[in-house]
Chains A and B, each alone.
Chain A
Amino acid sequence: MERAHRDYDDIPGTYVFDSVHHRKGYHLNMFGMSLNDPKNRAKFAEDEGAYLDEWDMTPEQREAVLNREWLEMLRLGGNIYYTFKIAAFDGLNMQDVGAAMSGVTSDEFTQMMIDGGRSANG
Protein backbone atom coordinates (compact mmCIF):
# COMPACT_ATOMS: atom_id res chain seq x y z
CA MET A 1 0.00 0.00 0.00
CA GLU A 2 2.31 2.69 -1.27
CA ARG A 3 1.35 6.03 -2.67
CA ALA A 4 2.93 9.09 -4.22
CA HIS A 5 4.73 11.57 -1.96
CA ARG A 6 2.51 14.02 -0.13
CA ASP A 7 3.53 17.37 1.25
CA TYR A 8 2.89 16.26 4.85
CA ASP A 9 5.25 13.28 4.61
CA ASP A 10 8.23 15.32 5.83
CA ILE A 11 6.62 16.44 9.10
CA PRO A 12 8.85 14.70 11.64
CA GLY A 13 7.48 12.16 14.13
CA THR A 14 3.95 12.40 12.74
CA TYR A 15 1.70 9.64 11.38
CA VAL A 16 -1.11 11.20 9.38
CA PHE A 17 -4.13 8.88 9.45
CA ASP A 18 -4.76 8.81 5.70
CA SER A 19 -6.09 6.09 3.43
CA VAL A 20 -2.87 4.05 3.56
CA HIS A 21 -2.82 4.03 7.36
CA HIS A 22 -6.53 3.37 7.46
CA ARG A 23 -6.23 0.25 5.30
CA LYS A 24 -3.21 -1.07 7.19
CA GLY A 25 -4.71 -0.43 10.59
CA TYR A 26 -8.39 -1.20 10.11
CA HIS A 27 -8.56 -4.36 12.26
CA LEU A 28 -6.11 -3.06 14.86
CA ASN A 29 -8.17 0.09 15.29
CA MET A 30 -11.49 -1.73 15.35
CA PHE A 31 -10.11 -3.94 18.14
CA GLY A 32 -9.22 -0.76 20.06
CA MET A 33 -12.72 0.59 19.46
CA SER A 34 -14.22 -2.61 20.88
CA LEU A 35 -12.81 -1.72 24.31
CA ASN A 36 -15.53 0.93 24.61
CA ASP A 37 -17.77 -1.95 25.66
CA PRO A 38 -17.25 -3.08 29.28
CA LYS A 39 -18.04 -6.68 28.27
CA ASN A 40 -15.12 -6.63 25.84
CA ARG A 41 -12.85 -5.00 28.42
CA ALA A 42 -13.66 -7.90 30.74
CA LYS A 43 -12.84 -10.43 28.04
CA PHE A 44 -9.56 -8.69 27.24
CA ALA A 45 -8.70 -8.56 30.94
CA GLU A 46 -9.47 -12.26 31.31
CA ASP A 47 -7.17 -13.42 28.49
CA GLU A 48 -5.58 -10.85 26.18
CA GLY A 49 -4.36 -13.41 23.65
CA ALA A 50 -7.68 -15.19 23.40
CA TYR A 51 -9.53 -11.92 22.89
CA LEU A 52 -7.04 -10.79 20.25
CA ASP A 53 -7.66 -14.07 18.40
CA GLU A 54 -11.13 -12.71 17.63
CA TRP A 55 -9.57 -9.89 15.56
CA ASP A 56 -8.03 -10.26 12.14
CA MET A 57 -4.76 -8.50 12.93
CA THR A 58 -1.29 -9.16 11.54
CA PRO A 59 1.19 -10.94 13.85
CA GLU A 60 3.12 -7.66 14.11
CA GLN A 61 0.03 -5.75 15.19
CA ARG A 62 -0.83 -8.44 17.73
CA GLU A 63 2.68 -8.32 19.22
CA ALA A 64 2.61 -4.53 19.36
CA VAL A 65 -0.66 -4.67 21.31
CA LEU A 66 0.53 -7.37 23.71
CA ASN A 67 3.81 -5.49 24.31
CA ARG A 68 2.10 -2.08 24.44
CA GLU A 69 4.41 -0.66 21.78
CA TRP A 70 2.54 2.57 21.18
CA LEU A 71 4.79 3.92 18.44
CA GLU A 72 4.87 0.60 16.61
CA MET A 73 1.06 0.52 16.64
CA LEU A 74 1.05 3.87 14.80
CA ARG A 75 3.55 2.55 12.25
CA LEU A 76 1.28 -0.45 11.69
CA GLY A 77 -1.72 1.73 10.91
CA GLY A 78 -2.98 2.54 14.38
CA ASN A 79 -4.76 5.79 15.06
CA ILE A 80 -4.01 7.34 18.44
CA TYR A 81 -7.68 7.71 19.44
CA TYR A 82 -8.26 4.00 18.81
CA THR A 83 -4.98 2.73 20.29
CA PHE A 84 -5.38 5.03 23.30
CA LYS A 85 -8.32 2.88 24.37
CA ILE A 86 -5.77 0.15 25.12
CA ALA A 87 -3.80 2.66 27.20
CA ALA A 88 -6.96 3.70 29.05
CA PHE A 89 -7.63 0.02 29.70
CA ASP A 90 -4.18 -0.08 31.36
CA GLY A 91 -4.96 3.00 33.43
CA LEU A 92 -2.47 5.15 31.54
CA ASN A 93 -3.04 8.76 30.55
CA MET A 94 -2.02 10.71 27.46
CA GLN A 95 1.21 11.94 29.07
CA ASP A 96 2.28 8.33 29.69
CA VAL A 97 1.66 7.41 26.08
CA GLY A 98 3.24 10.60 24.73
CA ALA A 99 6.28 9.94 26.87
CA ALA A 100 6.59 6.36 25.65
CA MET A 101 6.28 7.45 22.01
CA SER A 102 8.91 10.15 22.35
CA GLY A 103 11.34 8.15 24.49
CA VAL A 104 11.20 9.99 27.82
CA THR A 105 9.69 9.25 31.23
CA SER A 106 6.14 10.34 32.05
CA ASP A 107 7.52 12.83 34.58
CA GLU A 108 9.86 14.30 31.99
CA PHE A 109 7.06 14.54 29.44
CA THR A 110 4.67 16.17 31.91
CA GLN A 111 7.36 18.68 32.88
CA MET A 112 8.05 19.43 29.20
CA MET A 113 4.36 20.27 28.77
CA ILE A 114 4.36 22.48 31.87
CA ASP A 115 7.40 24.25 30.43
CA GLY A 116 5.48 25.09 27.27
CA GLY A 117 5.51 21.92 25.20
CA ARG A 118 7.78 20.49 22.55
CA SER A 119 8.24 23.60 20.44
CA ALA A 120 9.91 25.32 23.37
CA ASN A 121 12.09 22.31 24.14
CA GLY A 122 12.97 20.81 20.80
Chain B
Amino acid sequence: MAEVVYGVATSHVPAIGAAIDNGKENTPYWRPLFEGYEGARKWMADADPDVIILAYNDHASAFDLDLIPTFAIGVADEFPIADEGYGPRDIPKVVGYPELAWHLAESLILNGFDMTIVNDLPVDHGLTVPLSIMYGKPDKWPAKVIPLAVNVIQYPPPTGQRCFALGRAIRNAVQTFPDGDNLKVAVFGTGGMSHQLQGERAGWINTPFDSAFLDRLADDPEGLTEISHTELLRDAGSEGIELVMWLIMRGALSRQVREVHRHYHVPASNTAAGLIIFEGSEALVSM
Protein backbone atom coordinates (compact mmCIF):
# COMPACT_ATOMS: atom_id res chain seq x y z
CA MET B 1 0.00 0.00 0.00
CA ALA B 2 1.14 3.52 -0.70
CA GLU B 3 1.02 5.84 2.27
CA VAL B 4 1.81 9.42 3.14
CA VAL B 5 4.47 8.87 5.77
CA TYR B 6 6.34 12.18 5.85
CA GLY B 7 5.30 15.79 6.07
CA VAL B 8 7.58 18.76 5.52
CA ALA B 9 6.58 22.39 5.84
CA THR B 10 9.06 25.02 4.78
CA SER B 11 9.34 28.57 3.55
CA HIS B 12 10.17 28.94 -0.14
CA VAL B 13 11.97 32.29 -0.23
CA PRO B 14 13.68 32.83 -3.63
CA ALA B 15 16.78 34.30 -1.96
CA ILE B 16 17.35 30.96 -0.19
CA GLY B 17 17.50 29.28 -3.59
CA ALA B 18 19.86 31.96 -4.87
CA ALA B 19 22.11 31.48 -1.83
CA ILE B 20 22.31 27.74 -2.59
CA ASP B 21 22.83 28.28 -6.32
CA ASN B 22 25.59 30.83 -5.70
CA GLY B 23 27.39 28.93 -2.94
CA LYS B 24 26.64 31.47 -0.21
CA GLU B 25 25.44 29.03 2.43
CA ASN B 26 28.41 29.75 4.68
CA THR B 27 28.41 33.53 4.52
CA PRO B 28 27.69 35.31 7.83
CA TYR B 29 24.24 36.35 6.62
CA TRP B 30 23.15 32.86 5.55
CA ARG B 31 25.05 30.51 7.89
CA PRO B 32 22.52 30.65 10.77
CA LEU B 33 19.72 29.64 8.40
CA PHE B 34 21.59 26.83 6.70
CA GLU B 35 22.96 25.41 9.95
CA GLY B 36 19.36 24.69 10.85
CA TYR B 37 18.84 22.88 7.55
CA GLU B 38 21.70 20.40 8.14
CA GLY B 39 19.61 18.08 10.31
CA ALA B 40 16.72 18.30 7.86
CA ARG B 41 18.92 17.29 4.93
CA LYS B 42 20.34 14.36 6.88
CA TRP B 43 16.83 13.24 7.79
CA MET B 44 15.76 13.64 4.16
CA ALA B 45 18.61 11.44 2.92
CA ASP B 46 17.56 8.70 5.37
CA ALA B 47 13.82 9.08 4.79
CA ASP B 48 14.29 8.99 1.01
CA PRO B 49 10.66 9.33 -0.11
CA ASP B 50 9.78 7.96 -3.54
CA VAL B 51 7.49 10.82 -4.40
CA ILE B 52 6.72 14.27 -3.04
CA ILE B 53 3.29 15.85 -3.40
CA LEU B 54 4.36 19.46 -3.14
CA ALA B 55 1.83 22.16 -2.25
CA TYR B 56 3.15 25.56 -3.33
CA ASN B 57 1.95 28.70 -5.01
CA ASP B 58 2.87 29.91 -8.44
CA HIS B 59 4.14 33.52 -8.45
CA ALA B 60 3.11 34.86 -11.85
CA SER B 61 5.15 32.16 -13.61
CA ALA B 62 2.84 29.47 -15.01
CA PHE B 63 -0.42 31.24 -14.23
CA ASP B 64 -1.28 34.88 -14.75
CA LEU B 65 -4.37 36.99 -14.15
CA ASP B 66 -6.13 35.27 -17.06
CA LEU B 67 -6.31 31.93 -15.27
CA ILE B 68 -6.30 31.55 -11.50
CA PRO B 69 -6.96 27.97 -10.38
CA THR B 70 -7.55 27.62 -6.65
CA PHE B 71 -6.11 24.08 -6.61
CA ALA B 72 -4.19 22.72 -9.62
CA ILE B 73 -2.38 19.39 -9.93
CA GLY B 74 0.47 18.75 -12.38
CA VAL B 75 0.07 15.47 -14.26
CA ALA B 76 2.92 15.74 -16.79
CA ASP B 77 6.01 13.54 -17.11
CA GLU B 78 8.20 16.49 -16.24
CA PHE B 79 8.04 20.15 -15.37
CA PRO B 80 10.50 22.74 -16.70
CA ILE B 81 12.13 25.34 -14.46
CA ALA B 82 10.37 28.69 -14.96
CA ASP B 83 12.03 31.92 -16.02
CA GLU B 84 10.69 34.29 -13.37
CA GLY B 85 12.17 37.36 -15.02
CA TYR B 86 15.88 36.82 -14.50
CA GLY B 87 16.50 33.49 -16.24
CA PRO B 88 15.61 30.01 -14.95
CA ARG B 89 17.52 28.57 -11.97
CA ASP B 90 20.28 26.18 -13.04
CA ILE B 91 18.85 23.12 -11.30
CA PRO B 92 17.68 19.67 -12.45
CA LYS B 93 14.32 19.39 -14.17
CA VAL B 94 11.46 18.24 -12.01
CA VAL B 95 10.25 14.73 -12.89
CA GLY B 96 6.59 14.00 -12.32
CA TYR B 97 4.61 10.85 -11.58
CA PRO B 98 1.67 10.91 -14.01
CA GLU B 99 0.14 7.62 -12.82
CA LEU B 100 -0.18 8.78 -9.23
CA ALA B 101 -1.02 12.36 -10.24
CA TRP B 102 -3.93 11.18 -12.38
CA HIS B 103 -5.07 8.82 -9.63
CA LEU B 104 -5.04 11.76 -7.21
CA ALA B 105 -6.89 14.02 -9.65
CA GLU B 106 -9.61 11.44 -10.22
CA SER B 107 -9.94 10.50 -6.57
CA LEU B 108 -9.96 14.10 -5.36
CA ILE B 109 -12.55 15.24 -7.88
CA LEU B 110 -14.82 12.28 -7.14
CA ASN B 111 -14.51 13.13 -3.45
CA GLY B 112 -15.53 16.73 -3.85
CA PHE B 113 -12.30 18.62 -4.63
CA ASP B 114 -12.66 20.14 -8.08
CA MET B 115 -9.02 20.12 -9.11
CA THR B 116 -7.66 21.89 -12.17
CA ILE B 117 -5.56 19.42 -14.18
CA VAL B 118 -2.36 20.82 -15.72
CA ASN B 119 0.21 19.48 -18.17
CA ASP B 120 2.09 22.64 -19.21
CA LEU B 121 3.43 23.74 -15.83
CA PRO B 122 6.78 25.52 -15.56
CA VAL B 123 7.62 25.46 -11.84
CA ASP B 124 9.01 28.48 -10.02
CA HIS B 125 10.77 29.11 -6.71
CA GLY B 126 7.66 28.12 -4.77
CA LEU B 127 8.29 24.50 -5.76
CA THR B 128 12.03 24.42 -6.42
CA VAL B 129 13.38 26.19 -3.34
CA PRO B 130 11.89 23.61 -0.95
CA LEU B 131 13.61 20.88 -3.00
CA SER B 132 16.91 22.76 -2.75
CA ILE B 133 16.45 23.27 1.00
CA MET B 134 15.90 19.56 1.57
CA TYR B 135 18.30 18.10 -1.02
CA GLY B 136 20.99 20.74 -1.62
CA LYS B 137 22.45 20.56 -5.13
CA PRO B 138 22.04 17.00 -6.46
CA ASP B 139 22.61 16.06 -10.13
CA LYS B 140 18.98 15.02 -10.25
CA TRP B 141 16.17 15.23 -7.70
CA PRO B 142 16.01 11.93 -5.79
CA ALA B 143 12.20 11.86 -5.70
CA LYS B 144 9.45 12.28 -8.23
CA VAL B 145 7.38 15.39 -7.64
CA ILE B 146 3.67 16.05 -8.10
CA PRO B 147 3.10 19.81 -8.12
CA LEU B 148 0.00 20.99 -6.29
CA ALA B 149 -0.40 24.67 -7.05
CA VAL B 150 -2.60 26.69 -4.70
CA ASN B 151 -3.77 30.23 -5.36
CA VAL B 152 -2.72 32.46 -2.49
CA ILE B 153 -2.04 35.65 -4.49
CA GLN B 154 -5.53 36.60 -5.64
CA TYR B 155 -7.80 37.22 -2.65
CA PRO B 156 -9.37 35.03 -1.41
CA PRO B 157 -7.15 31.96 -1.19
CA PRO B 158 -8.84 28.71 -0.17
CA THR B 159 -9.70 28.61 3.54
CA GLY B 160 -7.59 26.84 6.08
CA GLN B 161 -10.41 24.35 6.64
CA ARG B 162 -10.53 23.56 2.93
CA CYS B 163 -6.76 23.13 2.73
CA PHE B 164 -6.75 20.80 5.73
CA ALA B 165 -9.62 18.79 4.24
CA LEU B 166 -7.76 18.59 0.92
CA GLY B 167 -4.81 17.11 2.80
CA ARG B 168 -7.12 14.49 4.32
CA ALA B 169 -8.46 13.64 0.87
CA ILE B 170 -4.92 13.34 -0.49
CA ARG B 171 -4.07 10.92 2.34
CA ASN B 172 -7.05 8.73 1.47
CA ALA B 173 -6.36 8.92 -2.27
CA VAL B 174 -2.74 7.83 -1.85
CA GLN B 175 -3.87 4.77 0.13
CA THR B 176 -6.04 3.61 -2.77
CA PHE B 177 -3.32 3.98 -5.43
CA PRO B 178 -3.36 0.55 -7.07
CA ASP B 179 0.31 0.50 -8.16
CA GLY B 180 1.69 1.71 -4.89
CA ASP B 181 3.42 -1.26 -3.25
CA ASN B 182 5.39 0.20 -0.33
CA LEU B 183 5.49 3.56 -2.02
CA LYS B 184 6.77 6.15 0.47
CA VAL B 185 5.01 9.43 -0.12
CA ALA B 186 5.93 12.80 1.39
CA VAL B 187 3.67 15.82 1.33
CA PHE B 188 5.24 19.27 1.44
CA GLY B 189 3.42 22.41 2.47
CA THR B 190 5.39 25.49 1.57
CA GLY B 191 5.47 29.27 1.92
CA GLY B 192 5.35 31.50 4.98
CA MET B 193 6.06 32.07 7.69
CA SER B 194 5.22 35.65 8.62
CA HIS B 195 6.25 38.14 5.95
CA GLN B 196 4.97 41.06 4.00
CA LEU B 197 6.65 42.09 0.75
CA GLN B 198 4.38 44.99 -0.17
CA GLY B 199 3.26 48.39 1.01
CA GLU B 200 4.44 50.70 3.76
CA ARG B 201 4.27 47.71 6.12
CA ALA B 202 6.83 45.73 4.06
CA GLY B 203 9.16 43.84 6.35
CA TRP B 204 6.43 42.76 8.79
CA ILE B 205 7.52 39.82 10.93
CA ASN B 206 5.54 38.25 13.79
CA THR B 207 7.65 35.75 15.68
CA PRO B 208 5.09 35.08 18.47
CA PHE B 209 2.50 34.20 15.82
CA ASP B 210 4.95 31.92 14.00
CA SER B 211 6.04 30.19 17.21
CA ALA B 212 2.44 29.46 18.15
CA PHE B 213 1.72 28.17 14.64
CA LEU B 214 4.68 25.80 14.83
CA ASP B 215 3.68 24.66 18.33
CA ARG B 216 0.08 23.93 17.35
CA LEU B 217 0.65 22.30 13.97
CA ALA B 218 1.21 18.80 15.36
CA ASP B 219 -1.60 18.54 17.90
CA ASP B 220 -4.07 21.33 17.12
CA PRO B 221 -4.22 21.71 13.35
CA GLU B 222 -8.01 22.03 13.42
CA GLY B 223 -7.56 25.03 15.69
CA LEU B 224 -5.19 26.59 13.17
CA THR B 225 -7.77 26.12 10.42
CA GLU B 226 -10.05 28.52 12.31
CA ILE B 227 -7.69 31.47 11.79
CA SER B 228 -9.50 33.71 9.32
CA HIS B 229 -7.89 35.19 6.23
CA THR B 230 -8.07 38.67 7.74
CA GLU B 231 -6.31 37.44 10.88
CA LEU B 232 -3.61 35.87 8.71
CA LEU B 233 -3.19 39.06 6.67
CA ARG B 234 -3.01 41.14 9.84
CA ASP B 235 -0.88 38.85 12.00
CA ALA B 236 1.27 36.90 9.54
CA GLY B 237 1.49 39.66 6.90
CA SER B 238 -0.02 39.90 3.45
CA GLU B 239 2.24 37.16 2.09
CA GLY B 240 2.17 35.16 5.32
CA ILE B 241 -1.26 34.00 4.22
CA GLU B 242 0.71 31.31 2.35
CA LEU B 243 0.61 29.40 5.65
CA VAL B 244 -2.74 27.88 4.62
CA MET B 245 -0.64 25.54 2.45
CA TRP B 246 1.03 24.11 5.56
CA LEU B 247 -2.40 22.81 6.56
CA ILE B 248 -2.59 20.71 3.38
CA MET B 249 0.55 18.93 4.55
CA ARG B 250 -0.76 18.45 8.07
CA GLY B 251 -4.10 17.17 6.80
CA ALA B 252 -2.32 14.53 4.75
CA LEU B 253 -0.68 12.98 7.81
CA SER B 254 -2.06 10.68 10.48
CA ARG B 255 -3.93 12.24 13.40
CA GLN B 256 -0.90 11.75 15.59
CA VAL B 257 2.47 12.78 14.28
CA ARG B 258 6.01 12.81 15.56
CA GLU B 259 7.97 16.01 15.11
CA VAL B 260 11.49 15.13 13.99
CA HIS B 261 12.95 18.54 13.14
CA ARG B 262 12.20 22.23 13.53
CA HIS B 263 14.06 25.38 12.56
CA TYR B 264 13.09 29.04 12.61
CA HIS B 265 15.23 31.98 11.59
CA VAL B 266 14.73 35.68 10.88
CA PRO B 267 15.49 36.92 8.30
CA ALA B 268 15.74 35.15 4.99
CA SER B 269 15.48 38.20 2.75
CA ASN B 270 12.20 39.77 3.95
CA THR B 271 10.78 36.61 5.50
CA ALA B 272 10.68 34.61 8.71
CA ALA B 273 11.96 31.24 7.49
CA GLY B 274 10.35 28.24 9.17
CA LEU B 275 10.85 24.52 8.68
CA ILE B 276 9.14 21.64 10.46
CA ILE B 277 9.22 17.93 9.68
CA PHE B 278 6.76 15.29 10.84
CA GLU B 279 6.64 11.55 10.51
CA GLY B 280 3.02 10.77 10.10
CA SER B 281 2.21 7.14 9.42
CA GLU B 282 0.33 5.21 12.09
CA ALA B 283 3.17 2.68 12.25
CA LEU B 284 5.92 5.27 12.62
CA VAL B 285 4.08 7.21 15.30
CA SER B 286 3.51 4.16 17.47
CA MET B 287 7.15 3.09 17.31
Contacts and interface: CB of A to CB of B under 8 A. Distances in A.
A41 B85 contact: yes
Nearest to A21: B155
Interface residues on B, range: 35 or more
A41 B267 CA distance: 30
Nearest to B57: A81
Given A15-B198, A30-B65, A119 B234 contact: no
Contacts of A103: 200
B193 to A, nearest CB: 11
Contacts of B200: 12-13, 71, 101-103
Interface stretch (B44-52, B100-108, B202-210): B202-210
B227 interface: no
Interface string A23-64: 000100110110111100100000000000000000000000
A98 B202 contact: yes
* Max count, chain A CB within 10 A of own CB: residue among B83, B87, B233, B238: B238
A85 B198 CA distance: 14
B25 to A, nearest CB: 17
Nearest to B14: A94
Given A16-B155, A16-B238, A88-B85, A101 B205 contact: no
A11 B65 contact: no
Given A8-B234, A16-B238, A17-B154, A94 B207 contact: no
Contacts, number: 142
Contacts of A30: 64-66
Interface in B49-96: 59-61, 64-66, 82-87
Contacts of A13: 199-202
Given A8-B234, A22-B65, A32-B60, A94 B197 contact: yes
Nearest to B204: A118
A65 interface: no
Interface string B171-201: 0000000000000000000000010111111
A118 B201 contact: yes
B270 interface: yes
Nearest to A117: B205
Contacts of B238: 11, 14-16
A66 interface: no
Contacts of B229: 8
13 contacts: A13-B200, A16-B155, A19-B155, A22-B65, A30-B64, A30-B65, A89-B86, A102-B199, A113-B203, A114-B29, A117-B194, A117-B207, A118-B201
